[in-house]
Structure 1
């Protein structure tokens, strides 16, 4: 039995064993004490008339929600910065916004904004946590949401959601079912221009593509007192059906057409349990176990003037995690913590590429991967003087990756991962934080598997030689509290990376392919600015401006040309701005959000450079409360479309030795959409 399996069974057995101990009477969770904690009561949000916990959290000054990273294997590196009743959600596959929207504002007792140094709370490397504490009086609530969403290209679909929540004697039951259709922004109409190396345009093609996703999920969450602590159990099932139809028609001087159809079905199932027990006011124990499985079936077919090409993929993944966390506050100034985590991840994938009925051999077309990971950690938080805090820990990770199929091999990795941070409260309105850590990247199992896009003609091989990248990261953060409801945060992060995961050339007996791979050392610098301010002072009563911007610069050595360049597919700029206003007398909340500000990225392959950019997106919404139980929300997104551009510089072989062959430029405009949703709530 693997370490991960033993850890999972140990955690489950421990939770089951505790069930024989008589449960303590249910109590309202005590307020977190010690450290730097700001408490927001429901009265602080009364003028905003929030509908749920998400509406309340989004109004916290200086707080930006970070979701758990579902792409990271294991749990230690995937945790977000939102707690519910003092504990992180067991699932890392459900975003915080979805979870918090299921908690009605009337069920929130308070929100605690935690800045560190709190006994029993693992900050997980974050400078700021938000803890949503629910009321535990006996209540029963349900809500049904129904509406329509329509695209400006004529697409129309219903959407809906049902929620039920009940609390009694410390027990909590939450049920939810959701249907969420989506017109993906990969849809749109435009043109494909192909230029010769000298800049002449020999061909133009008309592009028309549409991707529709029908997503549904169902979840159940149970919480109850157990042996003086709290037991939480979650079950979830999710499914997504994506259908893509693409038509490419050649225009003068050429003729001809290509049709591409893709069916992609993804299904997931998840079950998890978490037990949290406090021993006195200074000691805290957490046990967690979870199991997640996913199934992907993808079939893509292209027909181009009599030529037939098919790509078929079937992938199965599974993840099992067992984790134990222990925290003890030796004194008000010194806290110790320790943890152990075991995880087992598996992937089984088969892919098949055919051209006119003939199989094309691809490296990584038949892959079975098993990874066993364990991580032990120990650390301490020390407050040597008022306004100062030192946080340090050492994590040791061991993993074994065994791969069978067309590229069999087995590898072992051991990585120490130290972390240290210093926090200085300069004065009540200013805080400085300096952190230094060593991080180890998590390999994406999909990089081991061959993939293809028939519509663009791009084929990628799987790479069994991948190693995790390792990064020394230093970060300096300044948080400035303008006043209670306003904050400004600026941070600069510098990273030195070994074994950067990028794109490399893979050579087989029959052909050469592009594939993910390690390309050596690199560096990355990131500047991030976040601001949240009310606008009452300039006469915009009830208004609030929230903005998050990031500027990123990276550098590696191109494995094909030997010249410096940025890391593939990294966005130099990312940003969003949101302006909202609460109108209590009209029982209305409205806002506008700008996203994808100046977003662009570049991918470097051995025989191609692809540059992508997209126009700024916007959403306007109006939400009005009608009576005590009804809400209506109208929303419009990118009504006049949003522009996308892609330029591919193609070479007839490695870019270092072959001249530029042609330049392909794609421009399209995605349709916008509008939606109207009615929500009715029943119960206390």
Structure 2
């Protein structure tokens, strides 16, 4: 598989270079001052419904959207969001600019630009490139973007959904209102065989898991343009409440006679979340700019798991688990930017953030001693240390950012942040710690030619801790161990990040070839550590295991295929090679980390056949299935994952009345995901194997049908 992936990318690279010499002018792309511009006229031939449809036709767009934003990033600093709308970012995590791409109608767009340089005018840091969606200027405009969809699951279930958005402008007011229901119904079948070290059969487990989930979401985005300033406000509300049923058959071969036990689970997950964000930007006559941004969000979750033995006399409950969680965040960021010299600008500012996490865990078991409790589902409760806690972080960042256009081909952006934070934990455990970090960053860009750019970035990064790790939590992946330990003393990973990119944009807008070299020098790597209080109750938790390194190379090529006789066809391929190393805390020897894999490959193809207004294509991905980086080392077991390649297909038809019909085949190869878990007698250091479990899961082929239209 690796050889074929390498061969394919080299063929693509050779083809794009060879085709560049004979290609005719594409007429869709212009290159000005490191900015690539795609006018709206180019996309008209594809009859796009939303901005997403336009983005799909741009070669190499994955380079600009490769980092990903969203809720995982730390604070609302300039990094992590590579999409602007009218040059403005959206202050949000659950509701950010990337979410707007499917909500904004294509007829609202004037042009799309890919910004490859740096500038104080762009409130984004850390992205290799930035995509700016520029909307049509009009005194009044509006449109409705509608989609209805349905998924067909392997058990015959049809799961409907839909999206509706209303976008427009009235005078200086821009607005987007959206509602959506996304079907996420899933049916999984699992099969597990357990053997002892000698290979003798111990147990066979078969499971049927059905999760009936629909994600509901409503959002709004407002922006008002004054003469010298702009105000933006956005809000989002989301809700999901999926029940999950589990049917499990356990065949036990340990005794003198084979026994069969039937087990069922009734699980319920409820989550409500909301988010409000906004920003204000004022441009002074002297060319300076003042910005202030804020973000407030709240997400509350409740997961209950109940397990029953299915007997002839009825169901007998033997386990109750309930996890309670609430995440709150309040952030404000303000800055002032001005020109300090010709071609130089300086931004100074401060960001303050309060993050609060509430954890709670209730466990009841039929095998516990003591009276039954209503709080634990009518079962005797388990006494658990560090089960309830509140973790609060107060963090302040003081930052300065200097932009320097060295000449018409070179730009340098330097940044210095001092971070001061305090983390307090209260409840079952009381703890308080303070941290201070200095975080420099340098970003250098050199346009070797108008079509070739070199980028080099050196950055000190501090990871965002998961406050769920501070206290005991459920372990839903291991029936022999229902909980995982908590660690109030875990600290942030610190890493020096080194990135070097060479990008070549092919002549006549044919495509892009990019090569990235990266190296990560990490301090306080987070992994599994021993938090056992006794030899009779071994327990592990996430904690710091020492220093480590990650390094690798990624090569990506994206090209139109007109030189192969396929006009309006676009192919993209990416191959990555990587490695890592860290000292395992249990075995005290060097091993790989779980990522990056030794190799990974990703490919996509799309062909718009204009005579029929018809499109088809595929997406494919796979990664290394061998090597120690796919092994998760724990205190008392190891888990090794195996996954087949992932393939999805699509067909799309655009009708003359502007309606688009799309048919997707997701998980087209019905891939199997497997895991081998090796359990040891006591700690893993004993080397004595107790049991080997071979587990596989299938989800089945999923069919999706969508109808979209803009009114």
The alignment's TM-score, normalised by the length of structure 1, stands at: 0.90
Cα deviation, residue 262, structure 1: 1.8
* Residue 104 (structure 1) aligned with residue 126 (structure 2): no
**Which of residues 268, 275, 298 is equivalent to 1:270?**
275
The residue correspondences of 1:635-650 to structure 2 (distance < 5 A) are 635-650=664-679
Contact 1:119/1:332 (CA < 8 Å) preserved in 2? no
**Is 1:314 the equivalent of 2:324?**
yes
Query: Taking structure 1 as reference, are residues 206 and 647 closer, same or farther at Cα in structure 2, changes over 3 Å only?
Result: same
Alpha-carbon offset, residue 554 of structure 1:
1.6
Offset of 1:431 from its aligned partner? 1.7
Residue matched to 1:410? 432
Residue 20 of structure 1 aligns with which residue?
none
Task: Within 5 Å, give how 1:460-475 maps onto structure 2.
Answer: 460-475=484-499
2:615 to 578, 589, 594: 589
Distance 1:596 1:95 in 2: 29
Matching of residues 530-545 of structure 1 within 5 Å = 530-545=556-571
Aligned partners of 1:338 and 1:34: how far apart in 2?
A: 29
How far apart are residue 575 of structure 1 and its match?
A: 4.0
Does residue 219 of structure 2 align to residue 197 of structure 1?
Answer: no
Work out the CA distance in 1 between the residues paired with 2:591 and 2:259: 37
Structure 1 residues 434-459: Cα deviation after superposition (integer angstroms, max 9, x where no partner): 22111111101111132223562232
> How many Å separate the matches in 1 of 2:669 and 2:182?
23
Alpha-carbon shift at residue 33 of structure 1 (Å): 12
- Name which of 497, 502, 527 aligns with 1:478: 502
The answer to whether structure 1 residue 244 and structure 2 residue 244 are counterparts is: yes
The within-5 A match list for 1:356-395 is: 356=366, 357-395=379-417
Residues 529 and 541, structure 2, Cα contact 8 Å, conserved in 1: yes
Match of 1:602 in 2: 631
Cα shift at 1:95: 5.5
Q: After TM superposition, give the deviation of residue 193 of structure 1 in Å.
A: 0.5
Quick one: distance in 2 between partners of 1:283 and 1:112?
24
Structure 2 gap ranges (5+)? 1-29, 311-315, 367-378
The match for 2:35 among 29, 34, 37 is 37
Q: What does residue 10 of structure 1 align with?
A: none
Q: Give the corresponding residue for 2:589.
A: 563
Aligned mates of 1:571, 1:641 — CA distance in 2: 23
1:85 Cα offset (Å): 0.9
Change (3 A) 1:38 1:443: same
CA 1:101–1:219: 2 relative to 1, 3 Å: same
Aligned to 1:12: none
Q: How far apart, in 1, do the equivalents of 2:91 and 2:31 lie?
A: 24
**Residue matched to 2:174:** 172
Structure 2 partner of 1:676:
705
Q: 3-state SS of the aligned residue for 1:324?
A: strand
> What are the equivalent positions in structure 2 for 1:253-264 lying under 5 Å apart?
253-264=258-269
SS across alignment from 2:61: coil
Give SS of 1:295's match: strand
Change (3 A) 1:336 1:614: same
Residue 164 of structure 1 deviates from its aligned partner by 1.1
Match of 1:554 in 2: 580
1:18 aligns with none
CA distance in 1, matches of 2:591, 2:382: 32
Instruction: Give how far 1:260 is off.
Output: 2.5
Residue 461 to residue 119, structure 1, CA distance change in 2 (3 Å): closer
SS state at 2:559 partner: strand
CA RMSD of aligned residues (A): 2.3
Structure 1 distance, partners of 2:118, 2:212, is 47
CA apart distance, 1:401:
0.4
Per the alignment, residue 611 of structure 1 pairs with 640
* Equivalent of residue 457 in structure 2, options 422, 432, 435: 435
SS of residue paired to 1:101: coil
Give, in whole Å, the separation in 1 of the partners of 2:418 and 2:224.
Answer: 34
Structure 2 partner of 1:188: 188
Partner secondary structure for residue 255 of structure 1: strand
Q: Distance in 1 between matches of 2:345 and 2:305?
A: 55
Seen in structure 2, the aligned counterparts of structure 1 residues 536 and 140 have a Cα distance that, compared at 3 Å, is same
The answer on whether the counterparts of 2:346 and 2:403 sit within 8 Å (CA) in structure 1 is yes
Q: Paired residue for 2:20? A: none
Aligned residues of 2:280 and 2:292 also touching (Cα < 8 A): yes
Q: How far has the Cα of 1:485 moved from its partner? A: 3.4
Q: Which residue of structure 2 aligns with residue 62 of structure 1?
A: 60
Q: How far 1:304 moved relative to its partner? A: 4.4
Q: Aligned residue for 2:348?
A: 338
Cα–Cα, structure 1 residues 33 and 75, in superposed 2: closer, same or farther, change >3 Å? farther
Per-residue CA deviations over 1:3-62 (Å, capped at 9, x if unaligned) read: xxxxxxxxxxxxxxxxxxxxxxxxxxxxx9995222221123233332221222233333
Secondary structure at 1:585 match in 2: helix
Farther off after superposition, 277-286 or 100-109: 277-286
C-alpha separation in 2, matches of 1:358 and 1:571:
44
Query: 2:680·2:686 contact (CA, 8 Å) conserved in 1?
Result: no
SS at match of 2:506: strand
2:59–2:560 contact (8 Å) kept in structure 1: no
Q: 1:226 to 1:450 in 2, by over 3 A?
A: farther
Q: Cα distance, 1:582 vs. partner?
A: 1.2
The aligned residue for residue 208 of structure 1 is 208
With 299-308 and 487-496 compared, the bigger mean Cα shift is at: 299-308
Q: Quote the Cα distance in structure 2 between the aligned partners of 1:173 and 1:581.
A: 33
Is the alpha carbon distance of 1:345 and 1:314 closer, same or farther for their aligned partners in structure 2, counting shifts above 3 Å?
same
Aligned match of 1:11 = none
Q: How far 1:161 sits from its partner (Å)? A: 1.6
Q: Quote the offset at 1:658 in angstroms.
A: 4.7
- Three-state SS of the structure 2 residue aligned to 1:46 is helix
How many matched pairs? Answer: 649
Give, in whole Å, the separation in 2 of the partners of 1:205 and 1:413.
47
Is 1:628 the counterpart of 2:652? The answer is no
Q: Unmatched 5+ residue regions in structure 1?
A: 1-31
Between 1:605-614 and 1:506-515, the stretch displaced more is 506-515
* Superimposed CA distance per residue, residues 579-615 of structure 1 (whole angstroms, 9 cap, x where no aligned partner): 0011222222322111355578332111111112222
SS at match of 1:397: strand
Displacement of 1:340 in angstroms is 1.4
- The reply on whether 1:53 has 2:51 as its aligned counterpart is yes
Q: Residues 165-186 of structure 1, C-alpha deviation per residue, up to 9 Å, x if partnerless?
A: 22121211211110111134xx
Distance 1:577 1:568 in 2: 22
Q: Does 1:303 align with 2:308?
A: yes
- Cα distance in 1, alignment partners of residues 380 and 537 from structure 2: 15
Does structure 1 conserve the Cα–Cα contact (< 8 Å) formed by 2:306 and 2:317? no
Conservation of the 8 A alpha-carbon contact between 2:88 and 2:123: no
Q: 1:38 to 1:349 in 2, by over 3 A?
A: same
Distance 1:460 1:552, change over 3 A: farther
1:71/1:444 contact within 8 Å kept: no
1:236-284 CA deviation, whole Å, 9 max, x = no partner? 1011223322222123644212222321111101111112233358433
Aligned to 1:489: 514
| Aligned equivalents of 2:577, 2:680: Cα separation in 1 | 31
